Amino acid sequence: MKGKGQTVVIVILAVVLLLCICGSAVTIGILLFGKETEDSDDGGDSVESTVDDSDEDTNLDTDSDSQTDDDDQTSVPQNGRISGSVSYPSEAIPDGMKICAEPNNGGGETCTTDIFLDAQAQFGYGYYIDVPDGSYYVYAQVPGDTYKAYYTEFVTCGLEASCPSHSKIVVTVSSGQNVENIDPGDWYAQ
């Protein structure tokens, strides 16, 4: 009996050590529930739409025909698609972080909070946003914070201190096109 008790303790210690090495509450959720965050039971994607340029956002959670399930990330709908990697200067992606495509000529932005594990993504997490034809600035934002981490020249330069510019990059999308590697991650602009 003593041997079984020691085995259980060793297994528990191994799991705790694995979780410490991974350093993320997201890992616990994935191990326990098979997903990174709590999703609604309807299985739909959460899409935020803002049609007001003021600081107050009007959020609409909808099931959008233009957004597809994570299992079908490679199919591009009638609209265009912007996709990329998600990052945050911490151990984990904050709950509720949103990625938005903001038309560079004004107007309503399209946002998603659907951030998923993606082995192909530079930082292990990906996103996509389906948008109409147009030109956009793409940014990430944490709930409760006004700071917007845009896709900028600093990101394409490698996020190095020697990168001189934090200028936003315009992302142009056409119908049926998937514009990839748009990584909104300039958390360092002043």
Structure tokens at 149: 């981490």
Cα(101)–Cα(135) distance, integer angstroms: 9
Tens-place pLDDT, residues 63-89: 333 343 444 455 545 799 999 999 999
- The fraction of the chain above a pLDDT of 70, given in percent, is 59
- The 10s digit of each residue's pLDDT in 131-174 is 999 999 999 999 999 999 999 999 999 988 899 899 999 999 99
| Selection from 55, 70, 68, 69 nearest residue 120 by Cα | 70
Going from N- to C-terminal start, the domains of the chain cover: 1-34, 45-179
Residues contacting 37, CB < 8 A, separation 6+ = 26, 29, 95, 115
pLDDT mean over 121-140: 94
Q: Are 116 and 97 in contact (CB under 8 A)?
A: no
Q: What is the mean pLDDT of the chain?
A: 73
CA gap 188, 190 in Å, rounded: 6
Name the residue with higher pLDDT: 43 or 185: 185
